[in-house]
């Protein structure tokens, strides 16, 4: 999974910035589960869609939908470097985790 595009979409009345992140692959349940190890994740179902909100301390939030290639990040300008670095590192961690999981599946089926 890679970030294909990052686009600022709006500025909240609180001064927080909102960015759209477009991914090369859809968000899966492993992505959401891994987020839970780094902060709080709230999930809710709406009309058959599983939506999630991730909160990292009081620094930033990520919001998205399972099986979508887009998520939103909201943060104050003062936290922009922290948020961007977290997102980049998280995607790297997710890719490593996914590769290990696929390797385990491949190894056990090719045995």
What average pLDDT is seen over the chain?
Answer: 89
User: How far is it, in rounded angstroms, from Cα 59 to Cα 23?
Assistant: 22
pLDDT in tens, 83-96: 999 999 999 999 99
User: How far is it, in rounded angstroms, from Cα 106 to Cα 78?
Assistant: 44
Looking at residue 109, what is its pLDDT? 52
Looking at residue 50, what is its pLDDT? 96
User: How far is it, in rounded angstroms, from Cα 17 to Cα 60?
Assistant: 10
- Sequence-ordered list of residues with C-beta below 8 angstroms from that of 40, at least 6 positions apart, any chain: 54, 55
Mean local confidence (pLDDT), 23-46: 94
Looking at residue 12, what is its pLDDT? 78
Residue with tokens 């998205």: 64
DSSP track, 89-104: HHHHHHHHHHHHHHHH
User: Model's pTM, two decimal places?
Assistant: 0.84
Sign of CA dihedral 4, 83, 90, 57: negative
């Amino acid at each position: 999974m890679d970030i294909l595009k990052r686009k600022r979409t709006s500025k909240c009345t609180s001064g927080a910035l909102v960015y759209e992140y477009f991914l090369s692959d859809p968000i899966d349940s492993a992505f959401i589960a891994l987020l839970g190890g780094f902060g709080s994740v709230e999930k809710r179902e709406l009309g058959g869609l599983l939506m999630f909100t991730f909160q990292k301390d009081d620094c930033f939030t990520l919001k998205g939908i399972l099986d979508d290639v887009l998520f939103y990040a909201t943060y104050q300008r003062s936290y922009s470097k922290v948020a961007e670095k977290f997102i980049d590192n998280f995607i790297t961690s997710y890719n490593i985790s996914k590769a290990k999981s696929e390797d385990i599946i491949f190894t056990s089926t090719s045995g």
